[in-house]
Every structure is written in structure tokens, then in C-alpha cells.
Amino acid sequence: MNKKQLQSEQTRKRIGDAARHLFVQKGYKATSIEEITAATGSSKGNIYYHFKSKEGLFLYLLDEWNRDWIEKWREKEHLYASAAEKMYGFAEQLVREDLNHPLTKAADEFFIGDDKTCEVEDRLAEMVAEHLAFNRMLIQEGIDSGEFRSGDPAGLAVVLEALVVGLSQMSRRSSLEQALAAYRLAIEVFLHGIAEPSAVSEPER
């Protein structure tokens, strides 16, 4: 590899890392190009040399993130014996990986903001669908193995996603230990609920 190419790749990574960190921490709009340059030492123009635009940079990060996340999961997945263990492993990776997925907060700004490009909109809808599909498969595995009661996997996938999205938002200002504890407790509740098994109650209507 060329020295130029190497350099290019390095700064790209540098910018990407700094930008991701800021996006995750502060959201999309609240993070300015100025701040990214300050965090990298690069200049404004350099960002636009390596990335098409702010949107482009963000989209690139989303793709990269998703790829890495899935890859890491594939490496670990087989270590877990049961579906329940997988759920805890899933939560742990969510916390350890970055304490939250950029998609949860920043991408939501995209969806809602008026300035959304069609390309971005499509890509984001796709990613949410992927997330739900992932969750559904996780739950389906447990059902197939007899660990989980058979029910509505699609609906439960939404509930799980909501739990994850909410936790990432609530845990943004807490320590890793606190976050891990919260996630673990959440999965525990997701699996076993909080009600006494004896006290069966149904929703009204």
C-alpha cells in the first residue's frame, strides 16, 4: 500500500472515530463539523475531502458500525449455550460496544428532520428493519428451543428494541457498571417479568 493511501486511510479512520464518538454522545445536529475538526486536528476542508458531506459521513459511520457489530456478534454467538444466555450476551455487547447504537438517537433525528435526503431515509428504514429482524430471530430461537413461550415474535422484537433504545438513552450519563447492571436487570425482566407467578392478571379489554 502507498504511503499516501495509508495516510488517507488513517485520517479517514481518525475523522470517523472522532465523529462517531461525538454523534453518539451529542446527537447528529448538535455535533458540528467544527467540533469534529477540533477533535481530530484536521481542518474543515479535509473532512469534505474525505467525505461527501456531513450526511455522508454519518451514513458511512452507520454502515461501518453495523458491519462491525454484526461481525463481533457472530464471533461470540456460538459461545452462548441457551437463548437466554444469548440475550444477556446481546445486552452486554450493546453496552460494551459503545453504550449505545448511533442509530438509536442520532438516526432518529434524521427520520424526523425535514432536511433528510431520500437516500438516507431509505438506508435508515432498512437498518431499523434489520434490527427488528435480528431481535425476532433471537426470540424465535428461544421459542424453537422451548425456552421461551411461543407468542408474537415480531411484537416482542419491537418491545426488545424499545427496551434497548430506551436503556441506551437513559444510560448515556451513567458509568459502564451502572449501565451493565441496568441492561442485565432489563433482560432479566424481559425474560421473567416482575409479577408473582401465582398472581395472574390480564389487561382489561
Partner DNA sequence: AATAATCCTGAACTTTCGTTCAGTATCTTA
Partner DNA sequence: TAAGATACTGAACGAAAGTTCAGGATTATT
> Could you give the count of Cα atoms lying within 13 Å of 123 in the half-sphere of its Cβ?
18
Residues in binding contact with a copy of itself, number by CB under 8 A: 61
Cβ atoms within 10 A of the Cβ of 21, count?
Answer: 15
Candidate ranges 1-9, 66-74, 93-101, 184-192; the one touching a copy of itself (CB under 8 A): 184-192
Please, which residue, 15 or 160, has the CB nearer to DNA? Answer: 15
Lookup result for grid cell 409479577: 195
162 binds a copy of itself (CB under 8 A): yes
Q: Which distant-in-sequence residues (6+ apart) come within 8 Å of 176 by Cβ?
A: 95, 96, 99
156 binds, among DNA, a copy of itself, none (CB under 5 to 8 A by kind): a copy of itself
Per-residue binding string, a copy of itself, 133-152, x by CB under 8 A, is: ------x--x---xxxx-xx
Asked if 3 touches DNA (CB under 7 A), the answer is yes
Which residue in 98, 104, 106 sits closest to 27, CA to CA? 106
Query: Are the beta carbons of 103 and 21 closer than 8 angstroms?
Result: no
For residue 157, give every residue at least 6 positions away whose Cβ sits within 8 Å of its Cβ, in sequence order, or none: 132, 133, 135, 136, 139
Grid look-up 442509530 returns 103
Decide: is 166 part of the binding site for a copy of itself (CB under 8 A). Answer: yes
**By CB under 8 A, what part of segment 58-87 binds a copy of itself?**
82, 84-85
Give the closest residue to 127 by CA, choosing from 155, 161, 94, 76.
Answer: 161
Residues 25 to 54: which contact DNA by CB under 7 A? 29, 31-34, 41-46, 48-50, 53-54
- The yes or no reply on residue 112 touching DNA (CB under 7 A) is no
Q: How many angstroms separate the CA atoms of 153 and 60, rounded?
A: 31
The amino acid occupying position 112 is I
Nearest residue (CB) to DNA, 49 versus 111: 49
C-alpha cell recorded at residue 104: 438509536
Query: Shortest distance, CB of residue 72 to a copy of itself, whole angstroms?
Result: 17
The residues binding a copy of itself (CB under 8 A) are 25-27, 29-30, 82, 84-85, 88-89, 104-105, 108-109, 111-114, 139, 142, 146-149, 151-152, 155-156, 158-159, 161-167, 169-170, 172-173, 181-182, 184-197, 199, 201, 203-204
The residues binding DNA (CB under 7 A) are 2-5, 7-8, 11, 29, 31-34, 41-46, 48-50, 53-55
